[in-house]
Amino acid sequence: MSCAVDDEHDGRYRAPEGATGAKVLGVGNFGTAKLMQSTRTGALVAIKYLERGEKIDDNVKRELVNHRLLTHPNIVRFIEVMLTPTHLAIVMEYAAGGELFNRIASKGKFSEDEARYFFQQLISGVAYCHAKGVAHRDLKLENTLLDGGAVPRLKICDFGYSKHSEIDSDPKSTVGTPAYIAPEVLKRQVYDGKTADVWSCGVTLYVMLVGKYPFEDKSDPRNFRSTITKIFACDYKFPSNVELSDGVKDLIRRIFVVDAAKRIDVSGIQSHPWFTTNLPLELLNVDVDVDESDMMTIEDIRAIVDAAKTPGASSMHANAAHAQEDIGFSGEFEGEFDDDDMRA
């Protein structure tokens, strides 16, 4: 595959049929996501545009390579990456149902059965990632999308902080979103990204059931130093006004264990009685065998990302006024614990 500049997507993508232009799905500190349509298949896709130049680094390459390795029904599908005169364009499956976070924000906490339905899918996708050697490291409601089906399917997205156990260095940086971060990640030491993912899955489950974060300071929700203190102490409670079964309480207790070595792992979750209740048959027999003959190679991805490190001929200044809508960038931090960096 050539790395030649792809002007106007080389005719492969256009604004959706009947639309006056490409719909902006979100804007973040590092890029803009737009809804487009494949001219070959007619399928709607999400394209994330990252401005060429200094922001295109090996972290972007790692994200795309790791995402390309993952083909699972509960993971947003990576389609391809292209070079435009001004941007690196990342083409992905479009999830019409939006973020799982928005579903809770609009409808409130879930019933236990509904929470289990989504949690089973989340764990199915995470188990696949881990089996392929990839730790996500930023699992949260905002990084779980829903397709447009009447019975929505959950899809994990945004592998910007992911690490591969064989390709990448051992995780040791403090990355992610404060409310979801495992205690070992906060210690700035080498840690097991897969075990940390389990903690984040536990936070996701708790929020689906309770409608609030487990380690949030109720008197000052934006006090992230207090949140971190509560995480280290594993200081959380099951609200008396929320009816939860003993089974799900037991599972959450096994997840929220400060000592990562004693925390339940993904396989343990998959065999837990609460998890296996009403487990959909398709999650027992997930077919992940795909024909990779038409898929972009890892070598092509690396070459295109390297080419995108060179600034484009011009910049799209219309996208420079970055709104703080989250497409996987806001609310995250890496490195030192500065209050200004630890945004909700």
Give tens-digit pLDDT for 123-170. Answer: 999 999 999 999 999 999 999 999 999 999 999 999 999 999 877 656
Q: Torsions phi, psi of 270, nearest 5?
A: -65, -20
The mean per-residue pLDDT over the stretch 300-316 comes to 85
pLDDT of residue 319: 42
Interatomic CA distance for residues 130 and 141, integer angstroms: 19
Interatomic CA distance for residues 135 and 239, integer angstroms: 31
Q: Where are the beta strands (DSSP E) in 158-202?
A: 163-164, 175-176
pLDDT of residue 176: 74
Highest-pLDDT range among 5-9, 26-30, 176-180, 251-255 = 251-255
Question: 98-284 domain in CATH 3.40.50.150?
Answer: no
Q: State yes or no: pLDDT of 217 exceeds 70.
A: yes
**Helix residue ranges per DSSP H, the chain:** 58-68, 100-107, 112-131, 193-210, 224-233, 246-255, 266-270, 273-276, 281-284, 298-308
Residue 263's pLDDT band (boundaries 50, 70, 90)?
very high
The mean per-residue pLDDT over the stretch 89-113 comes to 95
pLDDT of residue 314: 56
Which element (helix H / strand E) includes 201? helix 193-210
> From 3.30.200.20, 3.30.1340.10, 3.40.50.300, 3.40.462.10, which CATH number describes the 7-95+298-312 domain?
3.30.200.20
Where is the binding site, in residues? 48
Q: What is the CA radius of gyration of the chain?
A: 20
Largest CA distance in the chain: 61
Highest-pLDDT range among 42-56, 245-259, 276-290 = 245-259
Residue 172's pLDDT band (boundaries 50, 70, 90)?
low
Q: State yes or no: pLDDT of 44 exceeds 90.
A: yes
Q: State yes or no: pLDDT of 337 exceeds 50.
A: no
The mean per-residue pLDDT over the stretch 32-59 comes to 94
Q: Torsions phi, psi of 47, nearest 5?
A: -120, 125
Which residue is it, tokens 């080498």?
190
Where is the binding site for ATP, in residues? 48
Which residue is it, tokens 């005169």?
85
Q: Which is more confidently placed, 55 or 342?
A: 55
Q: Hey, CA dihedral for 295, 299, 303, 309, is it positive or negative?
A: positive
The yes-or-no answer to whether 7-95+298-312 and 98-284 have a common fold is no
Please state, for a pLDDT cut of 90, what percent of the chain lies above it: 68
pLDDT of residue 327: 30
The mean per-residue pLDDT over the stretch 228-251 comes to 97
pLDDT of residue 8: 53
Query: Bridge-partner residues for 51, per DSSP?
Result: 87
Residue 9's pLDDT band (boundaries 50, 70, 90)?
low
Residues annotated as catalytic are 138
**Residue ranges of domains in the chain:** 7-95+298-312, 98-284
